Amino acid sequence: MSTTGTGAGTGAGTDTGTGTGTGTDASTGKPADTGKCTDTTPHTPNDAPHTPQTAPDTDDAFDQDSLPAPPGATGALLRSLLAPRRARVAVAALLLLVQQAVIQAGPLLVAYAIDRAVPAFRAGDHGPLITVGVAYLGCAVAAGGFQYAFILASARVNQDVLLDLRGRIFRHAQALSVDFHERYTSGRLISRSTTDVESLRELLAEGLQELLTVVLSFVSISVMLLWLDLGLGAVAVASFVPLYLLIRLYQRRAGRVYRARSTAVAAVIVKFTETMNGIRPVRAFRRERANEEQFGALNHVHERVNGDALLEMARYVVGSRLVANTAVAGIVLWGAYRVAQDTLALGVLAAAVLYLRRLYDPIDRLGMFLNSYQSAAASLEKIAGLLAQTPSVPEPAPGTGKPLPPLASAQPGRTVEFDGVRFAYRTGGEVLPRFDLTLPAGQTVAVVGSTGAGKSTLAKLLARFYDPSPEASDGPGQEAAAGGRVLLDGVDLRDLATTELRRGVVMVTQEAFLFSGTVAENIAIGRPDATREEIERAAKAIGAHDFITSLPDGYDTDVRKRGGRISAGQRQLVAFARALLADPAVLILDEATSSLDIPGERAVQRAMDTVLRGRTAVVIAHRLSTVEIADRVLVMEHGRIVEDGTPADLIRGTGPFAELHRAWRDSVVGGGKAAP
């Protein structure tokens, strides 16, 4: 089953999954070689002209997992996450500020004790020393209390932000069109909403506190030092210049490393999910060794960029300590000389040294902050790039979607029209050069044709998984014209309200996808308000009732727990019941009976009469037995209709369909002799 293209941009009642299994190996950009055993479609037919739709750099961005975010988008994203929690952020910052102020009082008290309280004590006045001792203790306790309050306040903000961000990623990814998911792959989405969100969590939980602490202590200590002694303070402040340069250098280098790391993590996850999703073909084709090697290589890249990150950090820490220690040594030497000269009080020098230690202590922590900042910035950049993607199949703005006209008759069917539709996949050549077709309301049309002819593409355009491609402009300055329209009862699908479209057009494909939940819930996806009676009626109509009642909990069987026991054919029956219950105007069946056995298919065919009656139906099938129920047959080759007529007429004729039918009949008769 395909791992991509499921669920995205599709509403209730549609079976998604294009069966292309087009995972790409993120590190190489080559098509993945797993999960493809059901995919026999040639992806680049020689006969189709190649007209790439998008600029090559966009494709590169997908291959290299570096979707461009508009300038400033990363900052804007962070702001938009924090802005609704402005008040609580301010409270947290205030708590931290107070805590820092309390902590910074320590050395001042020490200076007071040495220079004032001790001489007073010697003179017999115990008061000042006791006061200093009590004040010091009070500061320590208060600092602890404020720290506790800060952690509580910031933790709530952090959790809210992460909840919000994860929700945004999910909502946005779900709203993006099928073609996005075919290229981005689910592994990267997992990476975005786990690893990348996690690095933001680290920044918020620890990094911001570090930064605030560092900045506050830098400012307050500098002021304090300058106030204590202008000369010593000036030396300390001067040491900020090399530190600043060091930080800038580190930031630039670490930024590169962390972007590479985010990509590498995603590549590992992509390979992992792809392999495990395709575990059956992996086993069947003995791909374990090859996969292990590929995974090993990706894992190795991940390890290397992690090592690079540590190395950058180590360089920064060593460099900054060197600067700090040199400055401390200089100040102590100069200070000691001045104490000896009697131009500096000993208490002031002691306080200055204590402050200096506190000044440079947080530098390692600043490194930690820069670390988590770079990591989070790289992650946020990737998330912003994802959030900047717009659906290629945009839904009409809420409230502007057109409704369908009232039904002309009591029958549910509606007219379908392809009007000059041109279509090319973003990753491939032109599939439909220019397609015109009208299906009157209520008609059942069988579409046949060789593999890769464009039958499923036609179906997907009708279900609006894709929109017609814009016409390639002939020259510069010429506006790209729309490549035709798909109309449902005269309304362009692009203008149709999304709910109307999802209720109106339902597609059942080869891979009947079941969501976690019970069988009944799976059938009711297209109509969540359906009663159990209606669900059972739909299942009975399609011949699924018997197998469902034989499941351990009948209709309440959890399909995931029992997932392995629901066969492909049974899944198709569930999907059929789902489509029937959704009661659409247009029903598309794309190889929908391919997994059923002969009796199963016969049962479904008998049910078809009821299922399709009055509806407009497009039935795509390789088994020509399905064609018998159709009012009309279309034979497609290379994205064009080469034959069009009633089944009887075409069989009697001498065209491609008559030939196809003869060959098929012979094969069935031959097979019939072999089988009992």
Ligand X SMILES: Nc1ncnc2c1ncn2[C@@H]1O[C@H](COP(=O)(O)OP(=O)(O)OP(=O)(O)O)[C@@H](O)[C@H]1O
Chain residues binding ligand X by CB under 6 A are: 18, 20, 41-43, 45, 182, 425, 427-428, 431, 449, 451-457
Q: Give 158 or 456: the residue with its C-beta nearer to Mg ion.
A: 456
Asked whether the beta carbons of 589 and 508 are under 8 A apart, the reply is yes
428 binds, among Mg ion, ligand X, none (CB under 5 to 8 A by kind): ligand X
Interface size with Mg ion, residues (CB under 5 A) = 1
Q: How far is the CB of 86 from ligand X (least distance, A)?
A: 44
Is 640 strand, coil or helix? strand
Q: How far is the CB of 455 from Mg ion (least distance, A)?
A: 5
Q: How far is the CB of 453 from ligand X (least distance, A)?
A: 4
65 binds, among ligand X, Mg ion, none (CB under 5 to 8 A by kind): none
Interacting positions 443-462 with Mg ion (CB under 5 A): 456
Q: How far is the CB of 590 from Mg ion (least distance, A)?
A: 6
Is 320 strand, coil or helix? helix
Burial group, residue 55, by CB count within 10 angstroms (0-12, 13-18, 19+): exposed
643 binds, among ligand X, Mg ion, none (CB under 5 to 8 A by kind): none
DSSP characters over 41-68: --SS-TTS-----S-HHHHHHHHTT-PP
Q: Give 442 or 452: the residue with its C-beta nearer to ligand X.
A: 452
How big, in percent rounded to 5, are the helix, strand and coil portions of the chain?
60, 10, 30
DSSP 9: T
Asked whether the beta carbons of 540 and 529 are under 8 A apart, the reply is no
Q: Give 455 or 503: the residue with its C-beta nearer to ligand X.
A: 455
DSSP 31: B
Dist. CA 307–CA 577, nearest whole Å: 54
454 binds, among ligand X, Mg ion, none (CB under 5 to 8 A by kind): ligand X
Residues contacting 485, CB < 8 A, separation 6+: 417, 418, 419, 420, 421, 468, 492, 493, 494
Q: How far is the CB of 639 from ligand X (least distance, A)?
A: 7
25 binds, among ligand X, Mg ion, none (CB under 5 to 8 A by kind): none
Q: Give 53 or 522: the residue with its C-beta nearer to ligand X.
A: 53
- Structure tokens belonging to residue 261: 């790391």
394 to 413: interface string for Mg ion, x by CB under 5 A: --------------------
Q: Give 103 or 508: the residue with its C-beta nearer to ligand X.
A: 508
Q: Give 362 or 452: the residue with its C-beta nearer to Mg ion.
A: 452
Q: Give 369 or 657: the residue with its C-beta nearer to Mg ion.
A: 657
Positive or negative, the Cα torsion across 383, 384, 390, 395?
positive
- Structure tokens belonging to residue 273: 């999910």
Q: How far is the CB of 456 from Mg ion (least distance, A)?
A: 3
45 binds, among Mg ion, ligand X, none (CB under 5 to 8 A by kind): ligand X
Strand pairing report for 416-424 and 430-439: antiparallel
Dist. CA 292–CA 220, nearest whole Å: 55
Q: Which amino acid is at 424?
A: A
Q: How far is the CB of 19 from Mg ion (least distance, A)?
A: 7
Q: How far is the CB of 465 from Mg ion (least distance, A)?
A: 13
382 half-sphere exposure, CB direction, 13 A CA radius: 33
Q: Give 154 or 572: the residue with its C-beta nearer to Mg ion.
A: 572
20 binds, among ligand X, Mg ion, none (CB under 5 to 8 A by kind): ligand X
Q: How far is the CB of 461 from Mg ion (least distance, A)?
A: 13
Dist. CA 140–CA 134, nearest whole Å: 10
43 binds, among ligand X, Mg ion, none (CB under 5 to 8 A by kind): ligand X
Helix 208-228 and helix 86-112, axial crossing angle in degrees, nearest 10: 40
Q: Give 459 or 538: the residue with its C-beta nearer to ligand X.
A: 459
Residues near Mg ion (CB under 5 A): 456
